Structure 1
Amino acid sequence: MNYYFKPTLIIALWATSFVILSLPTPSLQQQSSSFEQSSSNRTSSFSSFDQNGSSFERWSSNQSSSSSFNQTTTFQRSSGGVRLQNALTALQAWKKTFISDPFGFTSNWVGSNVCSYQGVFCAPAPDNANVITVAGIDLNHATISGSLPDKLDLLPDLALLHLSSNKFSGNIPSFFSRCKLLFELDLSNNLFRGPFPSVFLNLPSLKFLDIRYNQFEGVIPPQLFNLKLDALFLNNNKFSSPLPSTIRNSPASVLVVANNNLKGCFPSEIAKMGGTLEEVILMNIGLKGCLPTSIGGLNKATVFDVSFNDLTGTLPESMGRMQSLEQLNVANNKFYGEIPTSICNLPKLENFTYANNYITKEPIQCLMIMDKNDENNCHFWLSRLVTKIFYRVYNAPQVPVPPRRAPPPPSKNYAPYVPVPPRRPPPPPPAPKYAPPHV
């Protein structure tokens, strides 16, 4: 599943928020609120920036019917200005740090028209609609080797920065502190290292943060969960501190912290996120203890994965209240006892994995789940046998039974049956006559 927001929508919201709010027309203010509401919804598909600027031009023409605005926009785009000049300085300084660009992704980063650079998106500035500035950069999957120079602080109007699947390395520079409008930040699948970048904690507009598959280490700061993030990906790093109790403050709908070395007990405070949390993946982070009964409060969760940990105890009956659950994975732990019937009765549950535990019994209702993995548990052999037989009978193909054929009609030459009397036994032989003995 892709969690990106559509870049054109983000840039549109970013570029018009201040302008629309400054206008007195009520309809325009209502339009601004609809933009804000639509931007809060995640889209399932991610489209790259339109490199020739056609998306921007279509959007700007829809947002303003004033020809003078379009003329000013064209003039600012072609002639530049202080902000575009600063952007040119920043991007050229950044390009000089590139060690390799195997696919020539930035080969057209020449000349002064930065809005024509591949992966660079321009939009009207939020504080002045007549000024064009660099609002987004998308270098996803470019496999560029390099670093992030301090000169990038000349891009304070960035709303979106996607650098996923490259080979950028080093520590995160402090220039991000100037990016107060940054909405989406994706640094995943790179070679960044060091502690969690504290500069990210001072980005008031940030909604999407993805730093997975890097080499960040140390403590996950408690302040991180006070940000108004919608999606947070910290997985596949080297973080080594337990999840803080402030996790209850996060309004995130997606939380992925898998494949770290956090250890500690399962954070019961996560149940406080029931109003927003839809997907939570805490796989392979060294969790211990039991699942709290309060976990049933995650009534909006569709994905719940705590596999490959050291959790124990029985699965709480309260998990049957997670009515939106579609995928549940508790495999490779130390859970024991019986699977609660309430879990297998969840109306939307399609995938249930609890392999490699010490489960002793599963209810028959679990057989109705579309995709289930219960291998390597401690099922009683009789319960297991009954389950398999029931499963085979329940899933056996239905073969129609042919109708019973009627007996043939009696023949015309039919003779009634006459019983044969029993045969009389033969009479006994006569007794022999007495013969006197010879003298």
Structure 2
Amino acid sequence: MAISSLLSFTTHALILLLLHFSAAKHGGSRHHGRLNHHPHRRPSPTTNPRLHQAYIAFQAWKRVIYSDPRNLTSNWSGPSVCNYTGVYCAPSPDDPDTTVVAGIDLNHGDIAGLLPEELGLLADLALLHLNSNRFCGILPRTLSNLALLFELDISNNRFVGPFPSVVLSLPSLRYLDIRYNEFEGPLPPEVFSKGLDAIFVNNNWLSSNIPPTAFSGNTSASVLVFANNKLGGCLPPSIANFASTLEELLLINTSLSGCLPPEVGYLYELRVLDVSFNEIEGPIPYSLAGLAHLEQLNLGHNLMAGLVPAGICGLPNLKNFTYSYNFFCEEEGICSNLTERGIIFDDRQNCLPEKPLQRSKEECAAAAEHPIDCYEHPCGGGYGYGGDSASFTGGSTSLAPATMPPVSPSPSPSGYP
């Protein structure tokens, strides 16, 4: 799966950094080596002003760190910043004879503190990994000076405020992970047009509908994870602009409504699609039967109805198919016995005849009286299931997002939200 493959963003992050910084040194060729805590050449601040600027930045940062239970910053003293724990140096891309601070990795440090304005002095930084700490406050605007920043991971901290728009000004950014913080307010559509490879914004307090033009720009991401926010609205047809790149789309518990657009079936590289715990209506688009790479499909806990198409159940790489807690009334062809194909599935709490653990006849009859026409009302018609939600949210068949199992923080960008 693509999220698993994104381990390269973390476990091999330093290799990526080296390739990024050594290109100039080796005439643009791909040359493998390693970043160094202890480079052979350690110019003094008087001969290397860029390391001196980094020294100023680290000393300012240390002053606003209030708790460091693992003593990761205990050796942050003196001008030899390349010796600091969590700091990685490399030759500068514009001057291979000059050593610069290229990466910072303080993941899982449990450090409490702020990010000072002086971090903007680290103009050569390509990697900043701070996940699983207790940093708080807002991101300093001076981060806009980090023109080479390739990866930013501040997940699982205590940052607050609106979406950190400073990240939109970073020209080299390709990996953005801000999940498990307390960012709130609208998600700017510009985040989708920056040419990012991976976008993790799940488990914040982000709100506002996904605009129809959200995915109309320079869309090239392979992973989009929005889960556990309150974005609302419909998934726009412009999602098809990710057709050649998107491998994983996770929209769990994001207050989505309306119909699932058939354009999702155009995402021919998709391996994981999870839109569970929303208010999506209507049938499963037949176009999903064209997703030959799809391995995991989760439509559970929505308001969908109609039949489960055999074309989807017959997808060659499908391993896990969940469509429980909907109003499906028929499993077409091989869908009635996915066990024979070795597919893990969950079809509980639907309206499937002769299947165990289904909804009551009353619930199913009420749903059948209000079919949804997705061509006429692709983003919800203000009628149908949503018109009388009390009939569909009571007792053991609750569809409300509050019924979701608790999601534990996942500090690594390699797992589900």
Q: TM-score, normalised by structure 2?
A: 0.78
Query: Cα deviation per residue 1:306-343 (whole Å; 9 max; x = unaligned)?
Result: 00000011111111001100000000001111100000
Q: What does residue 200 of structure 1 align with?
A: 167
RMSD: 2.1
Q: SS at 2:98's partner residue? A: strand
Q: What does residue 187 of structure 1 align with?
A: 154
Q: What does residue 310 of structure 1 align with?
A: 279
Is 1:76 matched with 2:43? Answer: yes
Q: What does residue 14 of structure 2 align with?
A: 8
Distance in 2 of aligned mates of 1:359 and 1:77: 70
Number of aligned residue pairs: give it: 344
| TM-fit CA distance, 1:8 | 2.4
Query: Cα deviation per residue 1:283-305 (whole Å; 9 max; x = unaligned)?
Result: 10111111122221011000000
Q: What does residue 379 of structure 1 align with?
A: 352
The letter for the 1-side match of 2:121 is L
Is 1:255 matched with 2:228? Answer: no
The letter for the 1-side match of 2:344 is D
CA contact (8 A) 2:252 2:276 kept: yes
CA contact (8 A) 1:80 1:113 kept: no
Query: Cα deviation per residue 1:127-183 (whole Å; 9 max; x = unaligned)?
Result: 111111111000000000000011112111100000001111111111111000000
Q: SS at 2:72's partner residue? A: coil
Q: Return closer, same or farther for 1:136/1:52 CA change in 2, 3 Å cut-off.
A: closer
Query: Cα deviation per residue 1:181-212 (whole Å; 9 max; x = unaligned)?
Result: 00000010111111112211111110100000
Q: Which of 207-216 and 194-203 deviates more? A: 194-203
Q: What does residue 234 of structure 2 align with?
A: 265
Distance in 2 of aligned mates of 1:89 and 1:125: 19
Is 1:246 matched with 2:214? Answer: yes
Question: 5+ unaligned residues in a row in structure 2: which ranges?
Answer: 358-417
The letter for the 2-side match of 1:198 is S
Q: Return closer, same or farther for 1:75/1:89 CA change in 2, 3 Å cut-off.
A: closer
Q: What does residue 270 of structure 2 align with?
A: 301
Is 1:153 matched with 2:126? Answer: no
Q: 1:162 aligns with which of 129, 141, 148?
A: 129
Distance in 1 of aligned mates of 2:235 and 2:42: 57
Q: 1:140 aligns with which of 107, 111, 115?
A: 107
Q: Return closer, same or farther for 1:9/1:216 CA change in 2, 3 Å cut-off.
A: same
Q: What does residue 330 of structure 2 align with?
A: 361
| TM-fit CA distance, 1:77 | 7.1
Query: Cα deviation per residue 1:351-403 (whole Å; 9 max; x = unaligned)?
Result: 0011111111213423224211111111112x669xxxxxxxxxxxxxxxxxx
Pairing of 1:378-397 with structure 2 (within 5 A) = 378-381=351-354
Distance in 2 of aligned mates of 1:13 and 1:303: 30
Q: Return closer, same or farther for 1:224/1:122 CA change in 2, 3 Å cut-off.
A: same
| TM-fit CA distance, 1:16 | 2.5
Question: 5+ unaligned residues in a row in structure 1: which ranges?
Answer: 21-27, 39-48, 58-72, 386-439
Q: SS at 2:273's partner residue? A: strand
The letter for the 1-side match of 2:125 is L
CA contact (8 A) 1:264 1:287 kept: yes
Q: Which has the higher contact order (CA 8 A, sep 6+)?
A: 2
Q: Return closer, same or farther for 1:103/1:186 CA change in 2, 3 Å cut-off.
A: same
The letter for the 2-side match of 1:16 is S
Q: 1:338 aligns with which of 296, 307, 314?
A: 307
Distance in 1 of aligned mates of 2:45 and 2:116: 27
Distance in 1 of aligned mates of 2:182 and 2:250: 19
Q: Return closer, same or farther for 1:80/1:96 CA change in 2, 3 Å cut-off.
A: farther
Q: 2:288 aligns with which of 316, 319, 325?
A: 319
The letter for the 2-side match of 1:329 is N
Greater Rg by CA = 1
Distance in 1 of aligned mates of 2:269 and 2:74: 46
CA contact (8 A) 1:248 1:271 kept: no
CA contact (8 A) 1:258 1:284 kept: yes
CA contact (8 A) 1:302 1:327 kept: yes
Query: Cα deviation per residue 1:412-432 (whole Å; 9 max; x = unaligned)?
Result: xxxxxxxxxxxxxxxxxxxxx
Distance in 1 of aligned mates of 2:97 and 2:46: 12
Q: What does residue 422 of structure 1 align with?
A: none
Q: Return closer, same or farther for 1:192/1:4 CA change in 2, 3 Å cut-off.
A: farther
Q: Return closer, same or farther for 1:356/1:304 CA change in 2, 3 Å cut-off.
A: same
| TM-fit CA distance, 1:78 | 9.5
Distance in 1 of aligned mates of 2:35 and 2:20: 17
Q: What does residue 91 of structure 2 align with?
A: 124
Q: What does residue 17 of structure 1 align with?
A: 23
| TM-fit CA distance, 1:75 | 4.8
The letter for the 1-side match of 2:325 is N
Distance in 1 of aligned mates of 2:130 and 2:42: 30
Q: 2:189 aligns with which of 222, 232, 237?
A: 222
Q: SS at 1:272's partner residue? A: helix
Q: Which of 209-218 and 1-10 deviates more? A: 1-10
CA contact (8 A) 2:319 2:344 kept: yes
What is the percent sequence identity of the aligned residues?
A: 47
More helix by share: 1
Q: SS at 2:41's partner residue? A: helix
Q: SS at 1:135's partner residue? A: strand
Q: Return closer, same or farther for 1:278/1:241 CA change in 2, 3 Å cut-off.
A: same
The letter for the 1-side match of 2:22 is T
Distance in 1 of aligned mates of 2:43 and 2:191: 38
